[in-house]
Amino acid sequence: MKMIIRGGRVLDPVSKRDEIADLYIQNGLVALPFEADSSTQIIDAAGRLVAPGFIDMHVHLREPGFEAKETIATGTAAAVRGGFTGVACMPNTNPVADNAAIIEFIKNKALEAGRCGVYPVGAITRGSQGKEMAELAGMRESGAVAFSDDGQPVKDAWMMRLAMQYCKMLGAVIISHCEEKSLVAGGVMHEGYYSTILGLKGIPAAAEEIMVSRDIILAAETGCPVHIAHISTAGSVALVREAKKRGISVTAEVTPHHFSLTDGAVADYSTNAKVNPPLRGEADLQAVLAGLADGTIDVIATDHAPHTYDEKNVEFDLAPFGMVGLETAVGLVWSELVHKGILTPLQAVAKLSFNPASILGLNRGMLTEGAAADITIIDPDLEETVDPAKFAGKGRNTPFTGRKLKGMPVMTIVAGEIKYQRSQKSGVRSRESEVRSQNEGTV
Per the CB < 8 A criterion, the answer to whether 372 and 364 are in contact is yes
Pairing, β 29-31 against β 41-44: unpaired
The Cα 103–Cα 281 span in angstroms is 38
Q: How deeply is 133 buried, as exposed, middle or buried, from its count of CB atoms within 10 A (0-12, 13-18, 19+)? A: middle
Number of Cβ within a 10 Å radius of residue 223: 11
Enclosing H/E stretch for 138: helix 136-142
Contact 231, 252 (CB under 8 A): yes
In a 13 Å sphere around the CA of 232, the CA atoms on its Cβ side amount to 32
What DSSP line would sit under 53-98, residue for residue?
PEEEEEE---TTT-TTT--HHHHHHHHHHTTEEEEEEPS-SSS-S-
Q: In one letter, which amino acid is 390?
A: K
Beta pairing class for 250-254 and 299-300:
parallel
Please compute Rg for the chain using Cα positions. 21
CA–CA dist 443, 438 (Å, integer): 7
For the annotated catalytic residues, the residue numbers are 303
Burial 95-128 (b: 16+ CB within 10 A, else e): ebbbbbebbebbbebbeebebbbbbbbbbbbebb
Distance CA 262, CA 283 (A): 9
Count of CB atoms situated within 10 Å of the CB of 341: 8
Q: Which helix (H) or strand (E) holds 203?
A: strand 202-203
Cis peptide before 256 (omega within 30 of 0): no
Q: Cβ of 384: how many Cβ atoms within 10 Å?
A: 17
